[in-house]
Structure 1
């Protein structure tokens, strides 16, 4: 399980860096469009659809990493009064629902991708399927990161939750399993 945690940690880090890079690229594209339009009195036709496409990537990749690292908001009032054993079951139910959601993203995202593969985005000259690749990739990452969380919990390893502090070594499986829930 520790080797799986290391691999998903690397995948998560790559997805996070790609997401951050996408945010910077999208910002540069929009800034260039504003400059061209209002300073040069011209327009770059590909920046709007291109920036929307890049935005899809950084949103879905970032959201998947947020699931892995426990940064998504949740309604935890009930969990504050429940014993740890019950909390772990509820966390597992939540992660199972996220697996189902990610599977749906992949399934329906692929259907959209398949239906638009023959269309061309006029200003970019590429297939309309590129608009839906982030949906499929984000769904895939949601599934593998949520399955990792379920497997970690079953193996007695820690999983990050919003508002809890787990260092990166613990999250990536570099800390012994006997330190798991004893500090919580």
Structure 2
């Protein structure tokens, strides 16, 4: 379990870096588009579709890392009044539901990618399937990280929920 936790931790760190770089890159592209349009009275046709695609990547990668670290939305009122063992069961049920959502992202994202693979994205000239790749990749990471959380909890290890330490010493 320690090796898996270290590998998924590194994968989460890489995903977070890619998401952060994507956020900065999208900001630069939008700023360049504004400059070209309003200062140079011209337009860069590919910045808007590229920015939207990059936004999909940093949203879905960041969301997956948030799930690994325990920062996804939850309704915790009941958890304050139930015993610790019940809390663990409820957290595992939550992680199973999140993993199910990730499976849906993979399944339906893949179908969308297949249906748009023959289309060309205007301005970019690449397959329309690339628009849906972040949904599939994010779904894969969500399933992986949710499964890891369940396995860690079953092994009696911390799951980094709300400030717990995620690393295994």
**Where in structure 1 are there 5+ consecutive unaligned residues?**
175-184
Deviates more, 1:75-84 or 1:15-24: 75-84
Q: Is the 8 A contact 1:3 1:173 kept in 2?
A: no
| Structure 2 counterpart SS, 1:121 | coil
Residue correspondences, number:
169
Partners in 2 of 1:98 and 1:122 — Cα distance? 34
Structure 1 segments of 4+ aligned residues over 4 angstroms from their partners = none
Gap regions ≥5 residues in structure 2: none
Distance 2:19 2:31 in 1: 18
CA deviations on 1:109-159 (whole Å, 9 max, x unpaired) are 000001111110120010000000000000000000000000000000001
Aligned pairs for 1:128-147 (under 5 A) are: 128-147=128-147
What's the TM-score once normalised by structure 1's chain length? 0.90
Alignment partners' CA distance in 2, 1:91 and 1:77: 13
- The match for 2:63 is 63
Q: Distance in 2 between matches of 1:98 and 1:72?
A: 9
- Partner Cα separation in structure 1 for residue 23 and residue 58 of structure 2: 6
**For each residue in 1:150-172, what CA deviation from the matched residue of structure 2 results, as whole angstroms up to 9, or x when unmatched?**
000000000122xx3223xxx13
1:172 has 2:163 as partner:
no
Residue of structure 2 in register with 1:148 after alignment: 148
2:13 corresponds to 1:13: yes
